[in-house]
Chains A and B, each alone.
Chain A
């Protein structure tokens, strides 16, 4: 049923084809986070791969810089309704992290962990095959702290809460374990094109 008197500000046809349902285009880069911005010193930074509770590989910041870095330019979509086109990131593909660790992903589910205690779950299949990276730069510059620097997960084809800021670990889990927002009513998968914002969507 139409809302009386509402006609809307339409996106252009080109924009409309790139906007998932319920989203609007922004030129800004809004920030969403549950708490204060953690300040992570590079000399205290580390990134760990875990198989369940068992750590299987860990990198310091200097070690991580030596991994192959690639660029990824993608549209991103936040569950709070904004989308931003052509965001330009660089970092290390999850495929390359696994190769460097010398392992195949051991389970089908992954929980991303952050320095501030944030977690979010992503199926392993959505992290590999060129789909996701640990990003360390945005628009050619180090990622600022409020946008998740020094390093954040980038899974651009899912709602952006899945792209955990201040990431410090990827943990392969036997089951699909709900993360921070997923425990609070947000969708376990979060596909913007199927508008999976909340549980049951």
Chain B
């Protein structure tokens, strides 16, 4: 045991917190409210998107999520968190993209039971770290695995709405071409948005033109980073995916404090 001198931890504290817009997310009470299901789309064989209109919705920040609460006739309840895929526009709606998990309790309900016109209970928005708004700036590097794309899609859509001049690169890994959520929209944005680059990595299907075959690796990460170091990097997916992608980003020289992660299931 010894009495310490200066701690090296203070630098790390600055690194993690310096970019944080915590002050603008002044805590307020989150109230459960009913939301009407306005549209349902099959995005992939395993992912459906749901457009919800909450009764009293005051907006959100790209990257945030909501809590869903389902109630059985006898009062039993189940809650889950789902990221928002839509941009925080003035529509009064939000879009969730939900992957059907075979042993799940809530996701199979959404896939098999929910219909347009149903009401679903939710509260939010939630999350003050894995978020982006225009004042945070860029360039942005977004790295998503599977349904980890969802909060990144909100960020991409918001950037296109309010700050299309900010360079953004999305690295998106999925099993197969048909598992790419919002694929047509992403390809269209790639072809029409001069400041948006898209790198797709398919792990279980031979590459098509311009698509990488295999997991994200150092070469793909280097290409995604390019010549302009991203100011902020957002990584979302399963824990092994996030661990691997964050390690590649750090190995490529990106600062620890510039990388934000979200691990689904976590």
Contacts and interface: CB of A to CB of B under 8 A. Distances in A.
Interface string B100-136: 0000010001000110001111000011111000000
Contact of A36 (B20, B109, B239, B250): B250
Contacts of B127: 184-185
Contact of B246 (A30, A36, A180): A36
B7 interface: yes
A58 B1 contact: yes
A113 B105 contact: no
B105 A9 contact: yes
Nearest to B108: A9
B70 to A, nearest CB: 4
Contacts of A119: 13
B259 A35 contact: yes
A14 interface: no
Contacts, number: 168
B86 to A, nearest CB: 20
A3 B73 CA distance: 8
A24 interface: yes
Given A33-B261, A58-B2, A2 B250 contact: no
A24 B3 contact: no
- B-side interface mostly: mixed
Contacts of B14: 117
A94 B55 CA distance: 47
Contact of A200 (B7, B13, B28, B239): B28
Given A28-B265, A30-B265, A185-B126, A58 B12 contact: no
Contacts of A201: 29-30
A60 B1 CA distance: 7
A113 B7 CA distance: 12
Given A32-B266, A37-B246, A180-B129, 9 more contacts: A22-B69, A34-B130, A34-B260, A63-B1, A180-B16, A181-B128, A184-B129, A185-B128, A200-B29
Interface of A: 1-10, 21-22, 24, 28, 30-38, 44, 46, 48, 55-60, 63, 78, 80-82, 100-101, 113, 115-119, 146, 168-169, 180-181, 183-185, 197-201
Report the 10 A-B pairs with minimum CB-CB distance, sorted nearest first: A184-B128, A200-B29, A117-B16, A199-B27, A36-B246, A32-B266, A117-B13, A5-B113, A58-B4, A30-B266
